[in-house]
Chain A
Amino acid sequence: MPINISRIMSWTFRDLRPYLRGMALATRTGRRPSITRTLWDSSVGKKTVMAVSGLIMLAYLVVHMLGNLKVFFGPEELNAYGHWLRHMGEPFLHSHWGLWAARIVLIVSVVAHAVSAYQLSRRDLKARPVAYAHKRRRAGYATRTMRWGGIIVGLFIVWHILDLTTLTVNERAWEGHPYQNLLATFSTWYGNTIYIVAMAAVALHVRHGFWSAAQTLGAGNARRDKTLKFLAHALALVLFAGFVSVPVGVMTGVVS
């Protein structure tokens, strides 16, 4: 049997390691906190929370966009789809339970995403307190659009829920009839403007966000970079086109 010297050496030195460490360096390995603590306390871990919650919301957006396209097949189809959403999982689940389960996942995601975005942004701004006298526009473009875009999307989510879920600000507010309510929203200039601006913000956010999440979760590498960037652009474009087709459909009279 061949003798593997390095193997023996590495075993020997593995046994010596605590002593070497104790002598030379104070490492932080002694008291290791829980996984949750480690994640939340680290900038890399908090970014992971942001990436996972972002991807959950992204998956939801794709499904939501596909569902919205039913508007082009008439009021019965969209309203029936809305009805099904409320009764998802029946008869096993009580009515609305399936819907609420989805809502809870989304609420947790939005809160986790926004809180980590806020805390990380605070940390980032503090880490660079003095700006350069010589200004360059390039630096931080993506970061700034992500922060402002994120805030716009956040405000939109609030408005959107008040408009089409609780119907608080909807002019028609006909419960159980999403098709008619949606028509009401997109018959107003502000309804269209808010919606289209927000969708542009979502698209920009997804464009940097999807690729970023891949890096944060360690899925990015030089070989995959082009594919990931392409996917990010494609997702952004498809989401934008899909969502915006609805108000455009109403404005052009295709949906009425």
Chain B
Amino acid sequence: MKLTLRVWRQQNADAPGAMVTYEVDGVSKDMSFLEMLDTLNEDLILRGEEPVAFDHDCREGICGACSLVINGDAHGPERTTTCQLHMRSFTDGDTIDVEPWRAAAFPVVKDLVVDRSAFDRIIQAGGYITAPTGSAPEAHATAVPKADADHAFEHAECIGCGACVAACPNGSAMLFTSAKVNHLNVLPQGAPERETRVLDMVATMDDEGFGGCTLTGECATACPKGIPLPSIAAMNREWLRAVRKGPRRP
């Protein structure tokens, strides 16, 4: 396949950026989107130009490092991560727009790489449990009802990629934050911090400059892990409960 790419190029956080057009030839349908970008970068290096910077790590859909807004969709046209998006989703001769995640809380570092450390700070504010670490506990020590375990697991799937923020017209991190709140608040292990977790994580989310939720639903459509929109309502419920009860102090 031969493709035309329009890629966001930006030297660094302070430099102005622009969409730059490139032709890529010899793209196989079996390549992942990232491998296609590798092909482009090999070309650029041979021509003595600077390769396009983009984030990636596991390349198997589990780490959350890859990003990219492809033709206006976070992670592209399929509901998966960019590393798991294959070129068979495109046709020969296509023009593809490739842009970084856009949100005030995710400033561009270079080209397609953005700084997602705001997510780390949300997690630091409450995305943990104060349980003893060390050897694994006896599995039957704390019984968890099946429905709760499933609910927690569904939300534990969030890989922190940030597609929800990128897709949201308000640059809101509600889906991401709700994934962690739902995951930990339903489990007995997360119970001691049930109130402080949701209050602190939501407050940090606001402080980091993410927008609010207008229930547009773009986040849940973009999420490669299928975190559902009702999780946001569930987090709102937890938040209001915590405000009403006040945080439990140790």
Q: Which A residues contact B (CB, under 8 angstroms)?
A: 5-6, 9-10, 13-18, 20-21, 25, 27-29, 32, 35, 38-39, 41-48, 120, 123-136, 138-143, 146, 208, 211-212, 214-222, 225
Contacts and interface: CB of A to CB of B under 8 A. Distances in A.
Given A134-B72, A216-B236, A128 B247 contact: no
Given A13-B132, A217-B240, A212 B214 contact: yes
B103 interface: yes
B141 interface: yes
Contacts of A46: 212
B233 A134 contact: no
A225 B19 contact: no
Given A14-B192, A129-B104, A27 B170 contact: no
A46 B142 CA distance: 37
A120 B200 contact: no
B93 interface: no
- The interface centre, meaning the residue of B72, B103, B209, B244 with most chain A CB atoms within 10 A of its CB, is B72
A28 B122 CA distance: 12
Given A13-B192, A215-B236, A39 B243 contact: yes
B89 interface: no
B169 A124 contact: yes
A10 to B, nearest CB: 7
Contacts, number: 182
Contacts of B206: 41-43
Contact of A214 (B73, B131, B233): B233
Contacts of A16: 130
B69 A217 contact: no
A214 B234 CA distance: 11
B6 interface: yes
Nearest to A11: B192
A124 B233 contact: no
Nearest to B18: A133
B216 A143 contact: yes
B232 A215 contact: yes
Contacts of A35: 243-244
Given A128-B168, A140-B214, 10 more contacts: A17-B250, A28-B204, A38-B243, A44-B235, A124-B211, A127-B104, A128-B171, A133-B6, A136-B73, A143-B169
A21 B233 CA distance: 29
Contact of A132 (B102, B137, B205, B211): B102
B141 A6 contact: yes
A243 B235 CA distance: 36
B236 A124 contact: no
B170 A128 contact: yes
B67 to A, nearest CB: 13
A123 B212 contact: yes
Given A127-B170, A214-B233, A218-B237, A142 B212 contact: no
The interface centre, meaning the residue of A13, A41, A133 with most chain B CB atoms within 10 A of its CB, is: A133
A222 B69 contact: no
A71 B116 CA distance: 59
A43 B212 contact: yes
A230 to B, nearest CB: 16
A139 B232 contact: no
A211 to B, nearest CB: 8
